[in-house]
Structure 1
């Protein structure tokens, strides 16, 4: 049963790095990695070569961390928790591989992408293989509840991507639609991490739903932080992303939406004309970036991100005190303060 705790502002949380967030589940993350490696094994030499390359780029492993912390928060880590973390990481990795093929990306986080090294056909087939391994991992052990949680997230991610494509063609993005898109694209997967972790620990349906809602809120803040990088030269460089990349793709994210809401009719028309262009000069991109900053759109988006992260931290504090609870509150602070 949840214990009511007086919420503290997120700004009062001491800054933490990802290493501190992962500390309560450091040993469990090592056990997860073993499950993950075993789940990706294949008897096909080419597939093993590509998978080995993927495993060397393990990344920050935020999602497995969330699964394990959620399990620890709501009942305790079990073997199902490791499978839940591996299932989500398999599905997440599959979507990243497919995204690189769709976007024709040569790099991911500054490292050559799978499709750049082995071409699109291998990239598509690898993504399909990872999806199938995730499904089998859940089915072989009868983890139908975990499969339902993650499958719903994949459905929402696909719908979010398609809605964003549809909106980019028409350039009719509203704040409401933006939050629907990022809720589906990013919030759903983070929500599934928290929900799967709680379910793997044997939590009741109400607790699983609470964990899922917290994860969705964290995911919204996480995506807004990513979108802010597009208007921040220092932040964008640290994630290997040029400033204005979203603008080049005609993606209208929260900083721009809020800036346009505050603009005069003349400025709104001028900026929309630039955004509509399929190809923009560096000067035009810089003009939009400057407009977003000077109009207050950047500050307003940052405030919205911090509010969401604070809401998630407040909900997490309603659980009984534990290292996992503290780590998850720290993760909320990390999400808004991260540089990459």
Structure 2
């Protein structure tokens, strides 16, 4: 499988420029804010979302200043949602580093998340990027609605397959969809092309999240079963499908384990074994590959160039990565 650094080659220069512009977009005259945003930039992730913006733009036209603003806008939004998520989830660690709320407490973390959202709006409005701002604002709304839908359903443990797909479409896929739509919009592409790229990003996002959910039924670096979603009482696709394969008593027994014994590692291991024995992994994998193929089908309508190939490689990366 290709490394992310190899996939990035056609847009290496753009990503280097983007890093500087992203840092600049977070600048503040308040020393505390500047310290925190510097800390956030220092522990940045894989830059997957800016990559989708740049590759989408290159596939639809010419990468330009608006493309760089679109990448910064999406990354500001994404970073804001992560900071807020850590507060909501009471999480102290993010990508192996202390979270903002762990170091500076919840009140500061919420305000920092708000600041990043405001910076994104300011960046767009200062440059009349109304189309991209609308795309990203729609994604913000969907992310919040998806989070609340998941919270509501998790309490009653009644998430079926259709609800699961709606939650991941809103929570995860909408953001990747906005990256691809912003990339296309930044080049002046017509509405039909922007929508086509939005749909492409949504398919990739669905496959990406299913892959993430499959990881949870694996083993961690020290050989222990993961089961983090089970510990958080989240019903994901492998478990939802497995529950459909058994009668009511067994279904209630497994749901009871997830609901009331999710902090018992032996019980979590039992749930993981149940999912594997009842075809949950294979079914989720087949759904992930179906979304991957739908994404590939959309790409056939784009010009055959290095940027389209970059998107193809990113799609493969989302489903073949091992972490």
Q: Is the 8 A contact 1:90 1:130 kept in 2?
A: yes
Give the secondary structure class of the aligned counterpart of 1:299: helix
Distance 2:206 2:288 in 1: 8
Q: 4+ residue stretches of structure 1 with deviation over 3 A?
A: none
Q: Supply the distance in 2 between the matched residues of 1:84 and 1:142 (Cα, whole angstroms).
A: 12
Q: 2:127 aligns with which of 141, 145, 154?
A: 141
Distance in 1 separating the partners of 2:39 and 2:274:
42
For 1:99, which of 85, 93, 115 is the aligned residue? Answer: 85
Structure 1: distance between partners of 2:76 and 2:8? 20
TM-score under structure 2 normalisation? 0.97
Question: 2:290 matched to 1:322?
Answer: no
Partner of 1:291: 274
**Aligned pairs, how many?**
322
Comparing 315-324 with 199-208, which one deviates more in the overlay? 315-324
Q: Unaligned 5+ residue runs, structure 2?
A: none
Residue 107 (structure 2) pairs with residue 121 (structure 1): yes
Question: Deviation per CA, 1:20-73, whole angstroms, max 9, x where unpaired?
Answer: 221111101111112111110111111111111111112100000000100000
| Structure 1 range deviating more: 306-315 or 322-331 | 306-315
Structure with the larger RCO, 1 or 2 (CA within 8 Å, 6+ apart): 1
CA offsets 1:204-254 (integer angstroms, 9 cap, x no match)? 0000000000000000001111111110114xx49xx97111111111000
Paired residue for 1:205?
A: 191
State which of 56, 60, 67 in structure 2 corresponds to 1:81.
Answer: 67
What residue is the counterpart of 1:185 in the other structure? 171
| Cα distance in 1 for residues equivalent to 2:319 and 2:151 | 26
Note if contact 1:20-1:327 (Cα within 8 Å) is conserved in structure 2.
no
The 8 Å contact of residues 91 and 130 in structure 1, kept in 2 or not, is answered as yes
- Alpha-carbon separation, structure 2, partners of 1:16 and 1:99: 30
Per the alignment, residue 55 of structure 1 pairs with 41
- Residues 164-243 of structure 1 mapped to structure 2, 5 A cutoff: 164-234=150-220, 237=221, 243=226
Return the alpha-carbon distance in structure 1 between the equivalents of residues 167 and 153 of structure 2. 10
RMSD of equivalent CA atoms: 1.4
In the alignment, what sits opposite 1:9? none
| Aligned residue number for residue 42 of structure 1 | 28
Is the CA contact (8 Å cut-off) linking 1:192 and 1:212 kept in structure 2? yes
Point out the more displaced range, 263-272 or 50-59: 263-272
Q: Give the SS at the match of 1:233.
A: coil
Q: CA deviation at 1:79?
A: 0.5
